[in-house]
């Protein structure tokens, strides 16, 4: 196998993974968004099951991205 083929294989494997980096240890399934402010909070940073209030304006945030989806919600 040539060096170029090895590099291609490594790059292909790194882009196919939904887990791209270190992270906080908790698996994120999405994020909460405030439609008024554009504020974003990853779901792994929210305690409990209820949507949080926006830290900027106090409105209830909505969950973006379904639990069955793949990839990053960033």
Structure confidence by residue, pLDDT tens digits, 24-38: 555 677 899 998 888
Helix residue ranges per DSSP H, 1-74: 3-16
Count of domains forming the chain: 1
The domain containing residue 34 runs over which residues?
28-65
Q: Any idea what the CATH number is for the domain that residue 50 is in?
A: 2.20.28
Asked if residue 55 is part of any domain, the answer here is yes
Asked if residue 19 is part of any domain, the answer here is no
Asked if residue 34 is part of any domain, the answer here is yes
Of the candidates 54, 55, 53, 29, the residue with the CA atom closest to the CA atom of residue 42: 29
What whole-number distance in Å separates Cα of residue 74 and Cα of residue 62? 15
pTM of the model: 0.52
What whole-number distance in Å separates Cα of residue 12 and Cα of residue 17? 9
Q: Which helix (H) or strand (E) holds 41?
A: strand 40-42
What whole-number distance in Å separates Cα of residue 30 and Cα of residue 53? 16
Band (pLDDT 50/70/90 cuts) for residue 10 is: confident
Asked if residue 54 is part of any domain, the answer here is yes
pLDDT tens digits, 48-74: 889 999 999 999 999 987 555 555 555
């Amino acid at each position: 196998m040539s060096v170029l083929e090895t590099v291609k294989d490594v790059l292909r494997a790194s882009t196919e993974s939904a887990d791209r980096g270190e992270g906080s240890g908790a698996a994120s399934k999405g994020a909460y968004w405030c439609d008024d402010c554009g504020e974003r909070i990853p779901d792994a940073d929210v305690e409990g099951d209820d949507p949080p209030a926006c830290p900027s304006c106090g409105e209830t945030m909505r969950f973006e991205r379904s639990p069955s989806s793949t990839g990053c919600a960033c």
